[in-house]
Structure 1
Amino acid sequence: MNNIAKLVSLVTLGLVIGPCLLYFTGTIGLDTVKVAALVGTVGWFIATPMWMSRKLPVDASEVEI
């Protein structure tokens, strides 16, 4: 699951960067860039926390009952 989330994160990051570069070269229009960047941003914010979050260990000496 971790590798799938990393792959989705990388692809969605490409959806943000790629269309911007294509617009810079004049290949695609601004509306296409806006839609692709929005989809890429939403996908990135969903996929990235799945593999970047980590569970912190709880030390028995720090827990007070």
Structure 2
Amino acid sequence: MKILTKIVSFAGLALTIVPPIMFYLGSVELDSAKIYMGVGMFMWFVSAPFWVNSKA
């Protein structure tokens, strides 16, 4: 379960970082980039608390 939350949270982080770069390069429209970033933000904030502060 911890591995799955890490995968989801890193995918969300990627969806937060990559769309602005793609918009800058002209690959994505602004509205699409905002949607991707919103989904990525939601994924990160929902999944990250389950593993960020947990003990190893």
Normalising by structure 1, what TM-score?
Answer: 0.78
Partner of 1:2: 2
Aligned counterpart, 1:43: 43
Q: How many residues align?
A: 55
* Sequence identity (%): 35
Q: Distance in 2 between matches of 1:6 and 1:43?
A: 11
* Runs of 4+ in structure 1 over 2 Å off: none
- Structure 1 residue 52: Cα displacement: 1.5
TM-score by length of 2: 0.90
Paired residue secondary structure (2:54): coil
> Looking at CA atoms only, which structure, 1 or 2, has the larger radius of gyration?
1
Tell me, which stretches of 5 or more residues in structure 1 are unaligned?
Answer: 56-65
**Greater RCO, CA 8 A, separation 6+:** 2
